[in-house]
Structure 1
């Protein structure tokens, strides 16, 4: 057969930003929130035999002898490697019989032969014979997309919408923006979307879905303000609909007004958990951990038998340096996931995990935990997080007990790196490094991961020169890896080798101009030393443009404003950053600005909270010593 090469596939997944090594466990926990729910299946095995006896006989088959032989010849031609002949024979039979299944078979033969024009011709013949066939329209749309013939989509899509059953039409409208997103020219896609969805804006059953679909098309075309306006109009139509909130969520935090639509929806008693979980992922990706935690706390109160929110809540609380609260959440996840921790481990954690009321105290009596689909689920993530929580509490023995439970060979490096950290804290640095180095390497990625793990181990115990040596070796093996170069620059900053740090960060920016952390790190380092403050501010502003709402970048901007003498603006920004992420370093900066503004009682309160979370933080200790403040 002849014709263009056709490959049918689903929509590509969105490209993900690489997770920072320190956030790896949190990232994995967030991924758990993406899981779907199993669908119950009806059991029909007990149908009485008498019912079968009453079943009416099947209608007479249209398969007569000529049709049988025609289909047989078509399939034999295909088996013998002559798909062109098979296609013609089956398509002729489909036309003669006006049969959906035969038309579909002709289309499939053409697709298997990668003959796009013939597949398209078969769908056109199918629609001529069966004008109301939804399957014919769907295949035609898919093939036009695969052939990159977006200009021909309007007619079949319009017909598909008109022919769809009334109850199914809103769902079809909601799905079409994903189809249009595959077109190369999103301005033309927006024009097509307006043509398709505008007729359905005034119909009560479809107006909400149509507004949301138009909003998605505007967003894909780079018009977020118009997309927010359409989402707001959809909310006015149906305040309980999830579509407008999910559309608005895609624009958080970059577009004004989008987040308010999300939070207004989540304030409803009937808000869907899936929307709240999606908002949690967005907040966590922006490192707004305190807000994400509050959302998960509300969800776990409302739906205490859902396992995955407990896992993510535990990971977030670890990031907030709340190990006892993290253990409470993680042990609840383990319980719901269908596994009971060993008695010795449970007893060892009892003192740390039992703070306030337990998760079980809030559980509805009427809501039983759902059984795991295939027995106890993979608990590797929970074991690693529980080990991290025990380590934060200083209970190294219990941390090792949790690590010993991990049996997943694919997580060997994570386990050994965590175990090496425990050894290093006990003065066994040589053995700790050897433990990481002994992990087998199968690929270049394995070798890179080992070097990163070893460098992180050395950074954790402040062996900056050794860490710099390991990262320099890693950068030589992987010369254009921007993440490695960035990490190397951060170690150079700790060694107070500012020119080398700046050289490395500018190389990262040259290789990856949209790297927000490189812009922020360079700007903050200059601002913290009082150097080239206007340039420092420009770098940080650019970082915040690349990563809107990031609390650490907001902290940097507040700090450079303080250095520039803009104390009121500095205070506003630092309050915003601290509310989103109550980090110890942000607290140190906020307290200093409050102190300079004469608000010393509040400054002491902020510093005391921060010291309670992380008394060893260098920035906090240096700030208190320089200002001669005793707490």
Structure 2
């Protein structure tokens, strides 16, 4: 016996290895009848012997003791040898778990390969191997065990095997590699009637993860055509909605066919909100609250959307209704929607009180806002409550006090520092103190130099100060840090369009932003504006109408109204401007456009 084994055994026995021995014997012995008093019999019962021989018993004991005494590498080797000798699936699983707990992914994979070799018909061995290859970011190596798993699986289970793949590879560093590696297997499965639906659905999900939304949309339409009632197609359409307008048709067609599908109505509203279409999302949630007033999540979503749209009274009413439902009995709709979570109700109240304070502030009722804030006592929400208090002070002309309040807040983490500096810069921005806001953001960027959002905000303040070269430089650095920062592309393109400079470059930058978020209203507004600058009034009007319908913002109203005005549609222009002024009477862009065009009524 190696000396280290002697020491391990002796030490383990000294600390009570008898318990471990008993456990191992029970795990590996041949099981007898349920534990109860055996019936009395004159004939002696035959002894039940364990299938475990002495060497195997010793090997298992040594492996477990090595693990117990902090030697996972030795335990892995000893137990893997035992697993190979016995072809025991539970023992292979035990070895893999030891390797994973030691963060030894390659060793776990070696054990999984040995398991599969010893049990070539074991679905569990194949599944484990595929899971480990996904974990190790080796999708190309997963294709062979995947084909083998499909071959040994019963026909009725093959679709389920395929549908697990997107979840397994959801954290892959290079989704395009995953799609390229798995596509041949999935294309072959798509030729079989029993796996066609699952294979195309998985291909669509992998294409979406790889950034190919157009292909994902085409595959989703194929799924819908193959199985008209497929929930997979609708789920894919909901995920695709922000990128692909065609996805909406599949959703609305399903809702027309099943207008009482509450879960789909809620999901559609949330998808519209994610697509930055708050006006349309609010419309959906209003309809849900009318048809199903006991659905609390619909009231909460409606309240937040109305607040985003600056409809203070409507937001207040919806959020109060939500609070009533939190305090009332659970409704059938709420239970069906999965909203019943008693542990979350206290946190939900805290969040709702903060939103109600914001709605009260928006309508100028500062006393009511402070009363709501006084209710907030969660330590996790105190930072937000202080931000709101600072905003209240600033709106009452106490900007210095507001800044001091924010500056006194803790900055124990980079996120806390970032939040307080962004909040202070926003106060100064609202007060139109561009220089002070720029200085705060410059300080923030000096302390957090790799934060793209802080650089973006500083670029916006540089633009307000007329430092256009600084703005361009900052925005380009944002893109260098975060190449998919669509706001940076949009801001750079819009600033050029606004100054009537380098319009083709501006259009290309805005098109790049739209490639990330095709239906984002503010970016559609930018594209409409650059089309107007290029002289394409018809296209400009189309884009600006689409943007304004999704988000009736005052600045979008300024642009749409101007294009309508110069196109001779002056009554409609006045109507749009009046709507914008009703929402935001102090909007600088809107008031400037009306003044410049001499369009005052």
| TM-score, normalised relative to structure 2 | 0.80
Please give the alpha-carbon distance, in whole angstroms, between the structure 1 residues aligned to 2:292 and 2:495.
44
What are the residue-to-residue correspondences of 1:18-57 with 2, within 5 Å? none
Aligned pair 1:448/2:438, yes or no? no
Please give the alpha-carbon distance, in whole angstroms, between the structure 1 residues aligned to 2:447 and 2:344.
43
Please give the alpha-carbon distance, in whole angstroms, between the structure 2 residues aligned to 1:70 and 1:612.
81
Query: Which residue number corresponds to residue 188 of structure 2?
Result: 198
**Match for residue 614 of structure 1 among 584, 593, 601:** 584
Please give the alpha-carbon distance, in whole angstroms, between the structure 1 residues aligned to 2:335 and 2:428.
50
**Match for residue 528 of structure 1 among 474, 498, 501:** 498
Aligned pair 1:237/2:226, yes or no? yes
What are the residue-to-residue correspondences of 1:428-467 with 2, within 5 Å? 428-467=398-437
Query: Which residue number corresponds to residue 257 of structure 1?
Result: 246
Deviation at 1:569, TM superposition (A): 1.8
Q: Structure 1's 213 and 371: CA in aligned 2 closer, same or farther, altered over 3 A?
A: closer
Query: Which residue number corresponds to residue 319 of structure 1?
Result: 308
What are the residue-to-residue correspondences of 1:62-141 with 2, within 5 Å? 66=54, 70-83=59-72, 86-87=75-76, 89-91=78-80, 93-94=82-83, 98-113=87-102, 118-141=107-130
Query: Which residue number corresponds to residue 552 of structure 1?
Result: 522
**Match for residue 284 of structure 1 among 250, 273, 293:** 273
What are the residue-to-residue correspondences of 1:491-570 with 2, within 5 Å? 491-509=461-479, 511-570=481-540
Deviation track 1:376-425 (CA, whole Å, cap 9, x = no partner) reads 33022211111111111111111111111112223333211211111122
Given that residues 190 and 197 in structure 2 are in contact (C-alpha distance below 8 angstroms), is that contact kept between their aligned partners in structure 1?
A: no
List runs of 5+ in structure 2 lacking aligned partners: 1-33, 40-47
SS in 1 for 2:276: coil
Query: Which residue number corresponds to residue 170 of structure 1?
Result: 159
Q: Structure 1's 496 and 605: CA in aligned 2 closer, same or farther, altered over 3 A?
A: same
List runs of 5+ in structure 1 lacking aligned partners: 1-51, 341-359
Q: Structure 1's 147 and 287: CA in aligned 2 closer, same or farther, altered over 3 A?
A: closer
Query: Which residue number corresponds to residue 377 of structure 1?
Result: 346
Query: Which residue number corresponds to residue 358 of structure 2?
Result: 388
**Match for residue 596 of structure 1 among 566, 584, 594:** 566
Deviation track 1:443-483 (CA, whole Å, cap 9, x = no partner) reads 34323322221111122222333323322333333345432
**Which is helix-richer, 1 or 2?**
2
Instruction: Tell which deviates more after alignment, 228-237 or 249-258.
Output: 249-258
Instruction: Tell which deviates more after alignment, 305-314 or 385-394.
Output: 305-314
Please give the alpha-carbon distance, in whole angstroms, between the structure 1 residues aligned to 2:38 and 2:239.
53
Q: Structure 1's 65 and 564: CA in aligned 2 closer, same or farther, altered over 3 A?
A: closer
Aligned pair 1:474/2:444, yes or no? yes
Query: Which residue number corresponds to residue 4 of structure 1?
Result: none
Please give the alpha-carbon distance, in whole angstroms, between the structure 1 residues aligned to 2:434 and 2:66.
70
Query: Which residue number corresponds to residue 7 of structure 2?
Result: none
Deviation track 1:331-386 (CA, whole Å, cap 9, x = no partner) reads 2222333489xxxxxxxxxxxxxxxxxxx9x9979989964333733022211111
Deviation at 1:579, TM superposition (A): 1.2
Please give the alpha-carbon distance, in whole angstroms, between the structure 2 residues aligned to 1:144 and 1:94.
21
Q: Structure 1's 389 and 146: CA in aligned 2 closer, same or farther, altered over 3 A?
A: closer
Deviation at 1:619, TM superposition (A): 2.3
Q: Structure 1's 126 and 323: CA in aligned 2 closer, same or farther, altered over 3 A?
A: same
Instruction: Tell which deviates more after alignment, 608-617 or 279-288.
Output: 279-288
Q: Structure 1's 291 and 72: CA in aligned 2 closer, same or farther, altered over 3 A?
A: same
Deviation at 1:244, TM superposition (A): 1.8
Please give the alpha-carbon distance, in whole angstroms, between the structure 1 residues aligned to 2:597 and 2:284.
37
**Match for residue 627 of structure 1 among 577, 593, 597:** 597
Given that residues 242 and 275 in structure 1 are in contact (C-alpha distance below 8 angstroms), is that contact kept between their aligned partners in structure 2?
A: no
Given that residues 305 and 370 in structure 1 are in contact (C-alpha distance below 8 angstroms), is that contact kept between their aligned partners in structure 2?
A: no
Query: Which residue number corresponds to residue 378 of structure 2?
Result: 408
RMSD of aligned alpha carbons: 3.7
Please give the alpha-carbon distance, in whole angstroms, between the structure 2 residues aligned to 1:338 and 1:541.
48
Please give the alpha-carbon distance, in whole angstroms, between the structure 2 residues aligned to 1:280 and 1:430.
41
Deviation at 1:488, TM superposition (A): 2.4
SS in 2 for 1:574: helix
| TM-score, normalised relative to structure 1 | 0.77
Deviation at 1:167, TM superposition (A): 5.5
SS in 1 for 2:410: coil
Q: Structure 1's 416 and 65: CA in aligned 2 closer, same or farther, altered over 3 A?
A: same
Given that residues 223 and 233 in structure 2 are in contact (C-alpha distance below 8 angstroms), is that contact kept between their aligned partners in structure 1?
A: yes
Q: Structure 1's 545 and 184: CA in aligned 2 closer, same or farther, altered over 3 A?
A: closer
Q: Structure 1's 225 and 80: CA in aligned 2 closer, same or farther, altered over 3 A?
A: same
Please give the alpha-carbon distance, in whole angstroms, between the structure 2 residues aligned to 1:530 and 1:189.
42
Please give the alpha-carbon distance, in whole angstroms, between the structure 2 residues aligned to 1:65 and 1:431.
80
Deviation track 1:136-182 (CA, whole Å, cap 9, x = no partner) reads 22222223344555444233222333444565543332121344563
Higher relative contact order (CA 8 A, sep 6+): 1
Deviation at 1:253, TM superposition (A): 4.4
Instruction: Tell which deviates more after alignment, 95-104 or 603-612.
Output: 95-104
Q: Structure 1's 628 and 238: CA in aligned 2 closer, same or farther, altered over 3 A?
A: same
Please give the alpha-carbon distance, in whole angstroms, between the structure 1 residues aligned to 2:205 and 2:131.
20
Given that residues 139 and 181 in structure 2 are in contact (C-alpha distance below 8 angstroms), is that contact kept between their aligned partners in structure 1?
A: no
Aligned pair 1:605/2:579, yes or no? no
Bigger Cα Rg: 2
Query: Which residue number corresponds to residue 352 of structure 1?
Result: none
Deviation at 1:578, TM superposition (A): 0.7
